[in-house]
Chain A
Amino acid sequence: MPRVVLNGDDRALPEGATVADAVRETGAALDGRGMAVALGGEVVPRGKWQVRELREGEQVEVLHAVQGG
């Protein structure tokens, strides 16, 4: 069970959990429209969300566009 920091919160995810699972965990719609993911400060392209498995202690940021600026 990798423990990760997902959008600032500690989460334990099932073994083999991928970036896509983390996105689902945030409660966001998985069509991923207008969303992007960073792992440890590096962008994970959408095409790799289903295959990139999360490692212990990784920092996952799932972002989207909001009002601002």
Chain B
Amino acid sequence: MPQGLEIAGRGFGSRLIIGTGGFRSLEAVGRAVAASGAEMATVAMRRVDPSTRGSLLGVLEEHGCFVLPNTAGCFTARDAVTTARLAREALGTEWVKLEVIGDDRTLLPDASELLEAAEELVADGFTVLPYTTDDPVLARRLEDAGCAAIMPLGSPIGSGQGILNPYNLRLIVEQARVPVILDAGIGTASDAALAMEAGCDGVLLASAIARAEDSAAMGTAMRKAVEAGYEARRAGRIPRRLYGEASSPTEGVAELT
């Protein structure tokens, strides 16, 4: 079995973190969480709606999921910091997935607002997991600011385009002294495996499972992909060669003509 993920001194048996957005129902969230084996799930903060049926927190609790509130929907550092503080009050956790969006079409993070919010929240005692662009310099700045993990995107949220800049991801992984979680852009299982093979410590995804035709089956696929990618990284892949290299002995070949 693969060893687990550790963030800010807290251990998780699974390296897959699941986002709860986009699922058709709470039951679908529950089935996907169970299939994926995820032990951490991220939730958004929104105005209460008395017509809401069922309890998201109840479903996550039932599956033993650690709840990671996020600041999805925030476009400024100020809103993100307030949302994190509201989540701390509501859920009794100092952990936050920090998300500050700078563009509503691509949903790409706003680097300067993100860094400002990260600094403020770290100073306020939060365990900050920032969703960031795949910029190695920004990743380093976030780590220097005291973030507990770095969560670069593979491609825009919900785009399913996979990892568009493997080179940047490699640089981020190489320099990081905190866990690197690939967050956003995963389309299918091979994308998650590639992230882990690139040396990421974990993968956070939502849409790839939630919007799959069979989300529970995709949950299973993602669990296997993350495990396979992690094991392959540890096993050490063979180098890429221009030409073939025979795996059978070149001596003792019969002369048959």
Contacts and interface: CB of A to CB of B under 8 A. Distances in A.
A69 B206 contact: yes
Interface stretch (A12-20, A34-42, A50-58): A34-42
Interface in A23-59: 26-28, 33-38, 41-43, 45-46
A29 B48 CA distance: 10
Contacts of B47: 7-8, 26, 61-63
What range describes how many residues of A lie at the interface? 20 to 34
A66 B70 CA distance: 10
**SS class, residues of chain B in contact with chain A:** mixed
A43 to B, nearest CB: 5
A27 B72 CA distance: 24
Interface in B30-75: 42-50, 52, 55-57, 67, 69-70, 72-73
Contact of A66 (B19, B56, B85): B56
A36 B69 CA distance: 13
A11 to B, nearest CB: 13
B226 interface: no
A69 B86 contact: no
B192 interface: no
B72 A69 contact: yes
A64 B45 contact: yes
Contacts of B82: 38, 41-43
Contacts of B57: 33-34, 65
B228 to A, nearest CB: 26
B21 interface: yes
9 contacts: A35-B48, A61-B47, A62-B48, A64-B45, A64-B90, A65-B67, A66-B49, A67-B20, A67-B43
Interface of B: 19-23, 26, 29, 42-50, 52, 55-57, 67, 69-70, 72-73, 78, 82, 85-87, 89-91, 97, 99, 206
Interface of A: 7-8, 26-28, 33-38, 41-43, 45-46, 61-69
